[in-house]
Structure 1
């Protein structure tokens, strides 16, 4: 899968009090991981050297930068733990390539690089995190299940990381999700390159949950699962939303903008999905705008029967105030719009404006009329569109 974001963004991150954290060279003290025992031979374990270098930087009294120089380093599980006494931002500059340990027993806490409880982080440098998932994917025993607790470790996990910037980093072949952003505020990711083979299991590009003001821009993602998944409790985030309602303690999703994107050769385009038999939740004020699709099977898709497999029960996630605007391109399906909503809480306020697709499937194009399929959905079509509206 591939999705490219072209959202404009300044190279500054401003916190709640208005203090901007930029990328200005402020004479930071450099904490070189090789000075703490890291060896760039791709064979010796470097996790403790990374942790020690970060801890020293975090506890310093002045501006600090952790540097992973050019070369190849191997590492098991790593924790970069705040809060830090060093003034924000604390910078981690990855210039080389970091290889993940292939022994899954090394990941006691179920993640590779975990960065948490930091206010003001810059992670940059043009380097690469290689999860070496190709040597571990055979151990994924989910067997295609939509609900599975046996997922492999994600590569980068940001938990309670606020007012921070991640830029110019390559994340490849993660064992599990490539990146997770959890319980974070004002987090910007830009200029990333996230890749894994199309058939790699559960290798979502970026998963966002319980976070506010997350912006992703100028990023290329080609993975074996969702490019970007926006989970429960996310607000004001900037492409699959869900799955919602899998767990009883989930929170509402609102204020989501997905704009100025190109999606190529994907199964699904812009999608909202919720579980059947879910708790009571709301997903509202969501906008998909100015999106180009190239050979996408299901361009516009709401699925409120996710995980049902013909089981009884309905989703209790209320989906409302959803806008699909200026979405165009090519599709291999004659059903360009599918709104499969809950019979318990039908979708309301679904707006489709300027929807324009060309059919490129196996049937002769002139014999195909592009249609919309709507179930339990109140939808309006306006503007210029070549998709036959569904009758509600």
Structure 2
């Protein structure tokens, strides 16, 4: 282990400690008894499951945001339907602001209600806690037939956090989003824990959590089962930690896809102590074949258990390509798969399909213990292309050249 790697690890751990310290401080400041409560029903919201409460939610937020002391916006028990909602900052109070969800928030089923590609957005807020035992139900089942990824008409995101820092999102439930369940974009010092995110396995583009252009994000102890990636980590990210996730159904836990125009480098992602069941992919890094030039480095998948996963370990630098004739310009290096165990329904359990123009470098596989659980009379194998990989410890399947 070289000195630069030690320095990177120390910086990463210090960053996570700082995140925990700041978020825990926010938690203590937000849920205190001295917080002024802003109940959405006081601003006209009706829990009848029919009234569009979007404006009532916004009015309650604006009042809480303008408060000079600790503030808590409360959505009480009941069924509150709402169309597009924007919770904008910055807020006046130096204390974090709390949103406590105790009831069920239902997404309006009329897609014309959504003009900005989102359902509920949090923007430019410093100090935020979203908590409670309530549910955000996007009612996406009425809209999934309109999904058209080819023409880039993706459906609204349920919860979008953008330019939010020093935040905690905990204990809430997200069900049947129209598009992604949650996105975290251009955020800093952001913690997500104890979430339950659910949608059918055939629901299109319903990623559980998508993270991009963010630093110091920690996702822990959550159950996610959707029709797409349980967690996807896109471009521009640094110091992202994912642990204690139960994933399935879905497309696994992914870094990417990377290589879109204007994409920024990715560095410092660690996925540990996760369980994947019946997913299409397991630990995945994906880049576009026709891509811009960028780097993805210092990525770790460690202590992962998989049951009946189709592609347990996969680097795919020809993502979304039919002919696989191009050469991705995304440089992948310093990648580690450690202590990956369980079963694969595919006979190719390890696939390192890298770019011929930018071969993967510094790929390490340590203690891989996978068995075949498919239906054919196959033997488990690994496939490597343009990958400079090192294999140590147990290797099942047998390491590829």
Tell me the TM-score normalized by structure 2: 0.90
The one of 54, 58, 70 equivalent to 1:51 is 58
Match of residue 280, structure 1, among 293, 310, 330: 293
Paired position in structure 1 for 2:132: 125
- Counterparts of 1:206 and 1:38, CA distance in 2: 28
2-structure distance, mates of 1:110, 1:284: 31
Q: Say what the alpha-carbon RMSD is for the aligned residues.
A: 1.7
The residue aligned with 2:328 is: 315
Task: From 32, 43, 49, give the equivalent of 1:42.
Answer: 49
SS at match of 2:210: strand
Please give the alpha-carbon distance, in whole angstroms, between the structure 2 residues aligned to 1:92 and 1:324: 38
Alignment partner, residue 6 of structure 1: none
Partners of 1:19 and 1:178 in 2: CA distance: 24
Query: Following TM superposition, where does structure 1 have runs of at least 4 consecutive aligned residues deviating by more than 2 angstroms?
Result: 12-15
Query: Does residue 1:83 correspond to 2:93, yes or no?
Result: no
Q: Is the 8 A contact 1:94 1:128 kept in 2?
A: yes
What does residue 373 of structure 2 align with?
360
Query: Which of 394, 397, 400 in structure 2 is aligned with 1:390?
Result: 400
Deviation (angstroms), 1:312: 4.2
Please report how far the alpha carbon of residue 370 of structure 1 lies from its aligned counterpart in structure 2 after TM superposition. Answer: 2.0
CA distance in 2, matches of 1:320, 1:62: 48
Q: Are 2:353 and 1:350 equivalent residues in the alignment?
A: no
> Cα deviation per residue 1:42-78 (whole Å; 9 max; x = unaligned)?
0011001100101100111110000000000000000
Hey, what's the Cα distance between the residues in 1 that align with 2:168 and 2:25?
A: 12
CA distance in 2, matches of 1:386, 1:55: 57
The alignment covers a number of residue pairs equal to 373
- Which of 1 and 2 has higher RCO (CA within 8 Å, sep 6+)? 1
One of 216, 229, 232 as aligned partner of 2:232: 229
Q: Which residue in the other structure is 1:21 paired with?
A: 26
- Given that 1:13 and 1:22 are in contact with CA atoms closer than 8 Å, whether structure 2 keeps it comes out as no
Judge conservation of contact 1:320–1:348 (CA < 8 Å) in 2: yes
| Contact 1:29 1:64 survives alignment (8 Å) | yes
Work out the CA distance in 1 between the residues paired with 2:346 and 2:46: 52
Q: CA deviation at 1:109?
A: 1.0
Which residue matches 1:4? none
Deviation by residue 1:79-136 (Cα, 9 ceiling, x = unmatched): 0000001232100000000001011010011100000100110000110000000001
Counterpart contact for 2:69–2:95, Cα < 8 Å: no
Aligned with 2:155 (options 136, 152, 156): 152
